[in-house]
């Protein structure tokens, strides 16, 4: 009888502890958030990440009832800010506004201070934006097929600039070159700005920047836009065909933006933030502001976003291996 009573008492205590834990979790869920949320942008102010984060952050503040503070922590291609969030407490008060660069960094083989798929929790993809193949006016190609023909006739004679080795401009251009069956010469810089300057001066022949970053130069005729990399044409430049339309069927590449947090975030935080971001993205004024930046709103679930990141890492890893790309 004593053994039986002890067994019953043990089960009662376990059940009571479980109920208490559930009650505490329910209370935390009902109260969160109770203080400002820091949204870390791992790049300097003024970049696309920063602009989009501020548009969404302002609306998210209203919906969550707490300020969403944009915190720019640039450096090392986004690694510094990303690592800061990965090592932050998993309480929902420090989040990361990331872009596709976190997947290229993970695939590049660089020694990173964090493990992307283990140390960070995907919450929601929020937007996509296409790149555009642009050439200097000194290049004798007015269409994408003419550029491809020129490159095939003179392998590695076309120099393209990027914001650095292993970044999305680098790997994205190599992905295009692989699809088009051409060989180009990579010239890395310490930012996309200097590459645009050198293209305008004729020191570079080709770039693969985002549409929004060079649309004014394309419109003014100081550089030539040959094709956008998205599945559909960009509303910023509807006269420019897609790469698929222009001669490389099936090619598609867009940068994406999304929100992540430290691993082991409470499920209610992940769900709440994802749902609120999706709601913000349906607001007409938010959609208008994003489209003005050449960005398309993208609703998603945490699982969809996780799958996107994983598939991207796989794609870039395979490209680097298959094309023998050197990442220094």
DSSP string for 197-265: HHHHTTS-SEE--BHHHHHHHHHHTSSEEEEE-SSS--TT-TTSPBHHHHT-TT---EEEEEEEEETT-
pLDDT at 21: 43
- Report mean pLDDT in 10-residue bins for the chain, 328 residues: 54 51 51 97 89 97 98 91 98 98 92 96 97 97 98 97 92 97 95 92 96 95 98 95 97 97 98 98 97 94 98 97 89
pLDDT at 134: 98
CATH 3.40.190.10, the chain: domain bounds = 132-246
CA–CA separation, 318 vs 328, rounded Å? 17
pTM: 0.87
pLDDT at 233: 95
The C-alpha R_g of the chain, in whole angstroms, comes to: 23
pLDDT at 154: 95
**What tokens does 304 get?**
């969809």
CATH 3.40.190.150, the chain: domain bounds = 34-128+255-323
pLDDT at 198: 97
pLDDT at 46: 83
pLDDT at 90: 98
> Which fold, 34-128+255-323?
D-Maltodextrin-Binding Protein; domain 2 (3.40.190)
Q: 132-246 domain in CATH 3.40.190.10?
A: yes
């Amino acid at each position: 009888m004593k053994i039986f009573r002890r067994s019953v008492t043990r089960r009662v205590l376990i059940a009571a502890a479980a109920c208490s834990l559930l009650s505490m979790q329910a209370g935390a869920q009902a109260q969160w958030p109770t203080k400002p949320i820091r949204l870390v942008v791992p790049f300097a102010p003024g970049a696309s990440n920063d602009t989009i984060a501020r548009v969404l952050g302002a609306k998210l503040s209203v919906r969550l009832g707490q300020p969403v503070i944009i915190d720019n922590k640039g450096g090392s291609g986004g690694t510094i800010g990303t690592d800061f969030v990965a090592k932050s407490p998993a309480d929902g008060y420090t989040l990361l506004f990331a872009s596709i660069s976190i997947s290229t960094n993970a695939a590049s083989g660089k020694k990173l201070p964090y493990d992307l798929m283990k140390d960070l929790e995907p919450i929601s993809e929020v937007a996509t934006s296409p790149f555009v193949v642009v050439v200097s006016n000194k290049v004798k190609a007015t269409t994408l097929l003419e550029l491809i023909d020129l490159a095939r006739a003179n392998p590695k004679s076309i120099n393209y600039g990027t914001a650095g080795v292993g970044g999305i401009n680098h790997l994205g251009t190599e992905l295009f070159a692989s699809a088009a069956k051409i060989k180009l010469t990579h010239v890395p810089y310490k930012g996309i700005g200097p590459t645009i300057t050198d293209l305008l001066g004729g020191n570079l022949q080709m770039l693969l920047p985002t549409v929004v970053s060079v649309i004014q130069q394309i419109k003014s005729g100081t550089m030539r836009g040959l094709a956008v990399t998205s599945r559909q044409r960009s509303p910023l430049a509807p006269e420019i065909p897609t790469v698929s339309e222009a001669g490389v069927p099936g090619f598609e590449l867009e940068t994406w933006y999304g929100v992540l947090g430290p691993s082991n975030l409470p499920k209610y935080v992940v769900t709440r933030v994802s749902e609120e971001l999706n709601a913000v993205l349906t607001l007409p004024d938010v959609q208008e502001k994003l489209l003005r930046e050449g960005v398309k709103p993208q609703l998603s679930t945490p699982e969809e976003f996780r799958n996107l990141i994983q598939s991207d890492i796989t794609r870039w890893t395979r490209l680097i291996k298959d094309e023998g790309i050197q990442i220094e």
